[in-house]
């Protein structure tokens, strides 16, 4: 039985991931500010956590999850916010919040777990974005997602001697509630940039993550995997 910690567990990709996992093989710990429909699964337990707050994360890890931290085999980092805001409308508080949720939360969680005397952690899957490569009209979003790629590379190098592998998944335009903030014209623009000529579904990203959870992916270390319909060929 593997225990997986999923950040951003109420999101559409996370829900698709959890719905597709076998409860006989996996136990899921979900962290998010709000619950998800995945609560219906007996193998899933949600912990309320404001991932923009260092104090909330520490409190959740220390007093919420507590001793269960020692069970965690894998971290799947799906937490992310996308304000869809142009640079002239950004203030420092919003800029910091985007980076706190999208990047800093992962750093805090990994640091807390690997600092423990006993840990089962062997696998980290980080969900970045194609925007990390192409840029975005939302500068904080794309810069935070690019930062995740750098963090993944650094974790790959620094945690390899502990036999912890780290991989990154980079989705393109996916049909989620997050993408609904974009105009029809903008979504059509992204769609036309793909070779597939359609907007991806959450399960198409979740399926790649599921493979990275499986022992069949055991020789994949430090990879960045595009799931974007050929947008960045």
What SS3 class is residue 74? Answer: strand
On whether the CB atoms of residues 129 and 77 are closer than 8 A, the answer is no
What SS3 class is residue 151? Answer: helix
pLDDT digits (tens, 9 = 90+) for 140-165: 999 999 999 999 999 999 999 999 99
Pick the CATH number of 2-174+202-227 from 3.40.50.2000, 3.60.10.10, 3.40.50.720, 3.30.420.40: 3.40.50.720
Catalytic residues: 141
What SS3 class is residue 214? Answer: coil
pLDDT digits (tens, 9 = 90+) for 160-172: 999 999 999 999 9
On whether the CB atoms of residues 113 and 90 are closer than 8 A, the answer is no
CA nearest neighbour of 138 among 178, 171, 165, 176? 178
- Please, which pLDDT band fits residue 38 given cuts at 50, 70 and 90? low
The mean pLDDT value for 45-67 works out to 95
What local confidence, expressed as pLDDT, does residue 1 receive? Answer: 87
pLDDT digits (tens, 9 = 90+) for 107-149: 999 999 999 888 999 999 999 999 999 999 999 999 999 999 9
DSSP state of 28: E
Q: Using CA atoms, how far apart are residues 219 and 212, in angstroms rounded to an integer?
A: 10
Domain ranges of the chain: 2-174+202-227
- Say which residues have a Cβ less than 8 Å from residue 229's Cβ, sequence separation at least 6: 172, 173, 194, 195, 196, 197, 198, 200
């Amino acid at each position: 039985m593997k225990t997986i910690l999923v950040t951003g567990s109420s999101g559409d990709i996370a829900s698709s991931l959890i719905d597709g996992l076998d409860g006989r093989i996996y136990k899921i710990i979900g962290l998010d500010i709000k619950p998800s429909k995945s609560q219906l699964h007996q193998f899933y337990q949600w912990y309320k956590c404001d991932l923009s707050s260092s104090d909330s994360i520490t409190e959740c890890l220390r007093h919420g999850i507590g001793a269960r931290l020692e069970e965690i085999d894998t971290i799947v980092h799906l937490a992310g916010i996308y304000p869809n805001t142009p640079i002239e409308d950004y203030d420092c508080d919003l800029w910091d919040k985007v980076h706190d949720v999208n990047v800093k939360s992962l750093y805090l969680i990994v640091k807390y777990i690997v600092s423990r005397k006993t840990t089962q952690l062997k696998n980290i899957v980080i969900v970045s974005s194609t925007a990390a490569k192409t840029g975005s009209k939302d500068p904080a979003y794309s810069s935070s997602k690019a930062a995740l790629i750098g963090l993944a590379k650094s974790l790959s190098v620094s945690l390899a001697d502990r036999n912890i592998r780290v991989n990154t998944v980079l989705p393109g335009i996916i049909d989620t509630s997050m993408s609904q903030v974009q105009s029809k014209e903008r979504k059509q623009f992204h769609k036309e940039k793909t070779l597939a000529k359609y907007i991806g579904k959450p399960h198409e990203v979740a399926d790649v993550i599921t493979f990275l959870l499986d022992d069949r992916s055991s020789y994949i270390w430090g990879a960045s995997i595009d799931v974007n319909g050929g947008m960045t060929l």
